[in-house]
Chains A and B, each alone.
Chain A
Amino acid sequence: MSTDPRSRFWPAILALGALLISATARAEPVLPVETWQTDNGAEVLFYPTDSLPMVDARVIFDAGSVRDPAGKGGTASLTASLLEEGTTERDAKAIADGFARVGAEFSASANLESSAVRLRSLTEEDWLWPAVELMAEVIAKPAFKDEDIQRERERQLRGIQSRQQSPQAVASDALRKAAFGDHPYAHPTDGTRESVESIAPDDVRDFHRQRFVAANATVVIVGDMEAEQARRLADTLTDGLPTGEPAPPLPEVPPLEESETLRINFPSEQSTVLVALDGIPRKHEDYLPLYVGNHMLGGSGFASRLMSELREKRGLAYSTYSYLMPLRAGGRLVMGIQTRNDQVETALSLMDEELSRFIDEGPSDEELADSQANIVGGFPMRLNSNGKIVEQIGALAFLDLPLDYFDDYTERVEAVTAAEIRQAFNRHVDPQKRVVVIVGPTAEEADGETD
């Protein structure tokens, strides 16, 4: 389809099409990002693309739930959701109106590793700058009124209850707790009922004061603007922030100490089974072999062994998978399945078998070649929209990975050998040491259907 010279498309191709060029001549970096620091110390990354008259701006703080004060899990999440509930200048309704009036999309939320404040706006001057100024105000000057904190905390508690009626959510929270033990990665991002009830208004204010500072912030801008405008944008967004201190290094995740199985009683017809094993942090020399290996084990849908063995050959599940949790301070490998209650033991032993076989034998050459072809062939789809580009740049910056990470990415994927994968799995994943969580009716109550 692309045999013609396409000269008329060059301006558009230049925006994103560094991809196309890099595949052959490597004349340009895959992500031609300009970086600088604001005067108060925030890191800025800017990727210009004129393919659409819009801009995505994101401020990422090292303020995920891993930074929640001890015993007050859910503080980061509560803080993020309170940002748009009022500033010292205006109330929640005025904030929402301010964004809506100019068609801007705004959101703020916390995850395990970070908190992010996001804006998507048209580049039209009259529409863009009011939204940017409002976003800056929301980040730097939240009101954090007692009654708003009280109300949002109550809503967060309802959200936790809502998670408790989902067997998958219950399993995932239980797995995190069991897999990370005393590490601050262990608690759910929204916290537990006990931890959220213990969050006082000053905890939120302190969290914001300490973490929402320039030295702890990364600004990512992707869109149709000149560098000069991007500078003004980044300055505006961070202007109200004190320099502050970057968050301290995280404690390392210790390896799993012993195997355990947790059964959680739940009135469901299907059981959710999750298994956590040791893994590695994201910045690790074995990351790529483990990533490619996991792709074959359970990371690539129908092309993966778990899907093939458990779903396609045996009809045991709609969903089965494995994924790496490559966090900054450590990681885990997780396998999962949801299956009819009476099939749990079968499914679990098949998953174990697949994992052990993979660790012992590694992939076949053909399987590896197919997997590499999938990852390499799918590479352009990881960066084919502004939304995906802002996501990838944010991740690289936050993880402190080099910005040229993608320049030789496909070559590095292709260079991974079966032996390297097997060795990496052998080094980092011990199938004898694992945490298993099973959420479903416990044995005596399982009257489940047997069709």
Chain B
Amino acid sequence: MKGKVNIKEFNDHVILYPDNYINDIEGDKLDYMCDYLLKKGIKKFVIDFSGTELINSIGISILIGIIEKVKRHKGVVLFSGLRKVNQNIFNIVGLTKYVPIYRTEREAVDELRGNSVAMK
């Protein structure tokens, strides 16, 4: 494994906590972790960015790749805890059209458990 990403793993979903700065290195770690979890059969992901101050464009491209990958596996990704600037840059690149964003990790998890994400 290339590096560690903090995660909370539940029966059918996982919460990932990326680092303070998502660049190529941190993005690769997330990507690797998602691959690993998808292989384990996990298909529901919450990525909580409350500990993330900065995301650069390489990090964004890796996040796009992760979302595509999860969608290919018929899975779902939710984002939570985004700073205003990071939500803004996700808007600019068009990611917010594909990934529901929740204020807190709790709200995202509640949504997953309610199983109504596919309709968002």
A binds B: no
